[in-house]
Each structure stands twice: as structure tokens, then as C-alpha cells.
Amino acid sequence: MNGRGRTKGRPQMPGGKKIKKIDARFTEDEYKIICELEQTLGLTKTELIRQRLLSNAGLLVVNAKELIVLLDQVGAEMGRCGNNINQLAKYANILKKRGMLSPVVIERFTVLFEQYLKNQQALDTSLRKIFRMTGL
């Protein structure tokens, strides 16, 4: 033999023995979704629920519908800001062609546009953090 001796019985489970039980009830629609995921992923219902619950244990629970409505409002506002910038740029080009564009207007527009870009990048960073925290 190789000197290790014989082991008796089944090997120990990694992570310890599972002795605690939680019961949960589902609607027919929820249960169908779980069964579909079970078939698709090839996991038992217990493993599926355990993985889905514990893999996201540190994430926030949010109202997804409310979050989507708020993000839609933010997106619409950003779209309006972009539209206003396009209108100002078009008007500045018209003034430039007529030779009526003041350097002060150009400078002010540049400052405001740079601030808009910084705000957009900050929003993008914040949204990424929110998505990571919520698991969306």
C-alpha cells in the first residue's frame, strides 16, 4: 500500500454538513420558472436556489421597476441636454458663418460643454456602481 491507511465511509463534504432547512412556498408561475431554470441549467431546485440566493448575498435588494422608471427619467433628461447642446452648436455655426460669433460665447460654451461631459461621466460611473451593487 501507499502508507495512507484506509478511510472509512463517504468523504467529508466540502464546506461542512448541511443540517439547517428553510421552507419556502411559491406560486404556480414562480414554480414553473424554477423548473425551467432547473432544466436549462442542469441543477437541482435546491442547488439552484442556494446558488441564486447565496451568490448575491452581499447585493442590495431594489425595486427593479422603480429603478427602471428613474433611470428612464435620467436618460430622458440627458437626451434633452444633448438636444439643447446641438441647438446651441447649430446656432453658433450660423453666427460664425455671418461673422457675428463672439469669442466670449465660444469660451462660455466650451466651459459649459466640458462641465456637461464631466457630469455625464460621473453619471456613467454612478450607474455602473448601482448595477454592480444590485446585480442588474
**What pLDDT is recorded for position 97?**
93
> Between these two residues, 52 and 116, which has the higher pLDDT value?
116
- Count H helices and E strands in the chain, helices first: 4, 0
The grid cell for 131 is 448595477
Reference 54, options 26, 20, 13, 28; nearest CA is 20
Give the pLDDT confidence of 96-115 residue by residue, as tens digits: 999 998 888 888 888 888 98
**CA neighbor of 18 nearest in space, from 58, 41, 60, 49:** 49
